[in-house]
Amino acid sequence: MVDRSKSNEQRPAQTGQLYRVPVRFSVKFSSKYCNGSGMVQNISSSGALIEDAEPPLLAGGEVKLEFSLFADSLPIKIKARVVRETEEGFAVQFQKADPRTRQILRAAIKKALSRANQGLDTEEASALLSPANKVR
């Protein structure tokens, strides 16, 4: 897990056999009760942390996410379950991703991990995933 209080530098965090990669790109979401948007702060092949979420969602609910990992790729649409609430948003666990989506997620994470290991900061690593969605 990244301790942002000690440093602005973010590195991939390993949880079990999965890596959470620090990123920053936009996401749209919809649930049974609302539609909204936010920014993905980190992502793994099994889930993501979404912050700056409007409106915030409560743990336990199901949500549909839509985001693009690469500027030239079609958006990924994936169902997820909200597993944790945060001050700024919520964390999700992806549900039943199709093979194409799993392959795209793995490729994007591998690419971001490679760049992070080369010492790029989060903003630079995020540019790899989705230059069109990069926040300045």
- Whole-number pLDDT of residue 90: 95
The better pLDDT of the pair 87, 121 is held by 87
Q: Where are the domains of the chain?
A: 20-122
Residue 113 has pLDDT above 90, yes or no: no
Could you tell me which CATH number the domain at 20-122 has?
Answer: 2.40.10.220
- Whole-number pLDDT of residue 61: 93
Segment among 7-11, 16-20, 25-29 with least mean pLDDT? 7-11
The better pLDDT of the pair 136, 106 is held by 106
Rounded mean pLDDT of 93-113? 84
Q: What is the DSSP string of the chain?
A: ---TTT-S----EEETTEEEEEEEEEEEEEESS-EEEEEEEEE-SSEEEEEEEES---TT-EEEEEE-SSTTSPPEEEEEEEEEE-SSEEEEEEES--HHHHHHHHHHHHHHHHHHHTT--HHHHHHHH-GGG---
At 21-31, the pLDDT tens digits run 888 889 999 99
